[in-house]
A and B are shown apart, each in its own frame.
Chain A
Amino acid sequence: MTLLAVNGLHKSFGGVVAARDVSFTVARGEMLAIIGPNGAGKSTVFNMVGGQLRPDRGQVLLDGQDITHASPQKRFRRGVGRTFQVAQTFLSMSAAENVQMALISCNRQSNGFWAPARERHRDKAVGLLSRVGMAEAADTPCSALAYGDVKRVELAIALAGQPKLLLMDEPTAGMAPRERAALMDLTGSIAEAQGIGVLFTEHDMDVVFGHAARVLVLLRGQIIAAGAPDEVRQDEQVKRAYLGDARALEPLRGGSPA
């Protein structure tokens, strides 16, 4: 069943066309990866789905509802959660408070003037943290967490909004190789269990081919290939796009490219 439908998205910056008639869909529980060389337009497409950029043309439909021009805040209410390339959390708060903050906003209590925020939705927040394996760090300030852990907290924040769609911009950037697979395994299992569609961009091909159900390849703003990981890997056009690094798409054994 289609959760996200992107129809004919187009965006140009001056003379540079960053996205040209990009169309794709994401189903519930499906993990779709967008890949492509640097400058292919991954971030542009991603930010148009996330609400940080306005497309020149085209439509973004979530559950059949048009969210093309909705603000990031509205998208959150419609069920879009996201994580950032450089993890964005509230560093002055504890891990639990970060998640509590998302729950407070989700329940439209952010204008509350009286009862302390510290006590609101605490149990639910700790529950979410334990789903990402961070329950023990609930009272640790986010500023004192290792980067890989911050990424997990960020995932818990995104899940707090009970998203239908999760947008993850380079979810494993800056993480150690072992942590990468663990985070994506976790994301995959949560997505499957709750029927959350996941759209992510990624540079690490192990992560892409190990976790995505389908892969979308962008080149100069256009989709040049789409399909199951194995089909995409065999695609001649894709190989050419990664020319000079023809083995970039082959599975690696023991270790991962930097």
Chain B
Amino acid sequence: MLALDPAFLAVQALSGLSSASSLFITACGLTIVFGVTRIVNFAHGSLYMIGAYTAATLVPRLLELSFGPVTFWAGILASAIIVGLIGVIIEVLLLRRIYGAPELFQLLATFGIVLVVQDLVVQVFGPQDILGPRAPGLRAPVEILGRRFPSYELVLIAAGPIVLGLVWLLLRKTRFGVLVRAATQDRDMVASLGVNQALLFTGTLFLGAFLAGLGGALQIPRVSANTGMDLSIIAEAFVVTVVGGMGSVPGAFLAALIIGQLQAFGILIFPKSTLVVVFLLMAVVLAIRPHGFFGRAEIVGGTHAVGIASRSPLPGRHFILLVVIAVLAAFPLVADAYLLKVATEILIFALFAFSLQLLIGVGGVVSFGHAAFFGLGAYGAALAVKWYGVSMEAALPLGLALAALGAGLVGAFVVRLSGIYLAMMTLAAAQILYAVAFQWVEVTGGDNGIVGVWPSSWASGPIPYYLLTAALTVVAVLLLKRIIDAPFGYSLRAARDSESRAEAIGLKVRQHRWLAFMIAGAAAGLAGGIYAFSRGSVDPSLLGISTSVDALTMLLLGGIQTMMGPLVGAAALHGLRDWIMPLTPLWRLLLGLSIIAMVLIFPRGLVGTVRDWWGART
């Protein structure tokens, strides 16, 4: 058998080591930045991508000067330094302003940078993938046990430990390093000792971005620089830092080694699903050690969760509700087919965002992978139609049930965690499902997804389907609102406000959160199912990070502290997208900038801001 051939095993192990090295260099920067600033920097993958693009553009020009092989390495280093400076710019312009913000806002703001960079990279470097030059002197493969192995990979294998050694020296032997380690252990103490924090944080961002850029630049002889690099590396880098323990450099090294080997040999066991294996590792490690190998529980208690607070019931709320229902019902009288389609989608996303509000706004549980349940609902319904030929009436509840089941499973893992680990774990869960949908082509249709998911005849056509969507959304939102106002919702809020107090009055916090996951998952699954039938198809992007971020953006846009915020946010975001996207190729740039602006200027969202303004007037 192939797998037992020692030469094959050796080469496989070596290539595992080389990808571990690359992964470590990048993840090391992420973990150092987290250690000092406590920000999980989504844009780290973007810095990696900029590093690759810069090197792939810069190095060939330098090689033309023909100063020999040294120019190649000088180019790599220069690219990393350029990326380091970009990191400094990001720190000064954005991160500096959000160190004290709730972690959800931090994650979203740095994701805003991801969106901005995606469009900027295309503008600066062009839409084509760029394959960099091979390293001079390392073009010929070497023979290992009779098999050919690229010699550049051997350099990469060495690069990881070299970077580890240099970072270790930097952290142990320099004043900057002492401060970084001190800040990682106790940021407040360092602040009260009179250390120039601004300089420390800027320096840390330079180091982190430099390492991301170096990681990306070193890739150019292996893979061409492309626009998908950012999200694929950030997912892996997250796994490495989380498994290693956030803030721990040796932890990241160990985790990268394990993951490199797992990827190299995972191919032999699950040929198509290395991603699944990697994320499963993370799930298992977090289930056993909730803070990774070398991570510690956050000493500074409280995740400073923001969320909805008690308000007295609005006078005339029944009347308002009737008006809203009447307007929704009368809308088809004035709208054309296109507007109805937009309205249908807005309603679907409103339900999706509202289901997330139960977790985040009510429960303080920052789920970064809510797309998982939206996608499960959509795929559940679509698979039921495709494989069992059931009608829409049966497929929708099946999708909902699958989503609730998936949420129950994910929730069982996740409710033991807190803060950033929980966010990362939910993200991982969504990525696992994304990988399954993408790679299990026989069942899910892979990248193409499943087509031919049409509603029953009584509900087909823009008007009937709009009315069905409106009815289901209104009923589901009212049910959720009822639950939020009931003791169950209050218990979730109690656990969010003060976990120790909630336990001291006998609340079973984990059990409540687990149930909340299933309810939110079921509602998101219903939204997903309706969405599948509205488009007639499903594809893996429904499970992707950007779908999760869409829901979070709607929440943020509408206002996390308000019950109705997500509904308004869904309308605003979807409306804007429909209006602006056809006008400009820079939609992601605009969206990214708006997310950042919202975090900085309107953290209370549209509804919250209007309410505050109204409250100040009266």
Contacts and interface: CB of A to CB of B under 8 A. Distances in A.
A171 to B, nearest CB: 14
Contact of A88 (B482, B496, B501, B506): B501
Given A88-B498, A93-B490, A116-B485, A105 B505 contact: yes
Contact of A72 (B310, B485, B490, B504): B504
Contacts of B506: 72-73, 76-77, 105-106, 161
A73 B501 CA distance: 10
Nearest to B519: A113
Contacts of B258: none
Interface in A99-118: 101-102, 104-106, 109-118
The number of chain B residues touching the other chain, given as a range, is: 20 to 34
Interface stretch (B20-28, B211-219, B507-515): B507-515
B500 to A, nearest CB: 5
A46 interface: no
Contacts of A118: 310, 313, 485
B411 interface: no
Nearest to B501: A88
B505 A116 contact: no
A116 B497 contact: no
Nearest to B506: A76
Contact of B486 (A50, A91, A116, A157): A116
B294 interface: no
Contacts of A50: 504
A84 interface: yes
Given A76-B505, A93-B493, A117 B500 contact: no
Given A113-B486, A117-B490, A90 B501 contact: yes
A3 B502 CA distance: 24
A90 B483 contact: no
B307 interface: yes
B309 interface: yes
Interface residues of A, number: 42
Nearest to B499: A88
Contacts of B502: 90
B321 to A, nearest CB: 15
A161 B500 contact: no
Nearest to B490: A117
Interface string A236-250: 000000000000000
B505 A114 contact: no
Contact of A84 (B307, B485, B488, B501): B501
Nearest to B305: A92
B612 interface: no
A88 B491 CA distance: 15
Contacts of A97: 310, 490
A180 interface: no
Given A111-B487, A117-B485, A88 B493 contact: no
A90 B493 contact: yes
Contacts of A59: none
B316 to A, nearest CB: 17
A113 B313 CA distance: 18
Given A92-B309, A141-B310, A76 B487 contact: no
Interface string B288-323: 000000000000000000011110110000000000
A112 B486 contact: yes
A104 B490 contact: yes
B143 interface: no
Interface string B350-392: 0000000000000000000000000000000000000000000
Nearest to B508: A73
A120 B487 contact: yes
Contact of B507 (A94, A105, A113): A105
Contacts of B496: 92
Contacts of B16: none
A101 B491 contact: yes
The 6 closest A-B pairs by CB, nearest first: A88-B501, A76-B506, A92-B309, A112-B487, A90-B497, A117-B490
9 contacts: A72-B506, A76-B503, A92-B496, A93-B494, A93-B497, A102-B505, A110-B512, A113-B486, A117-B489
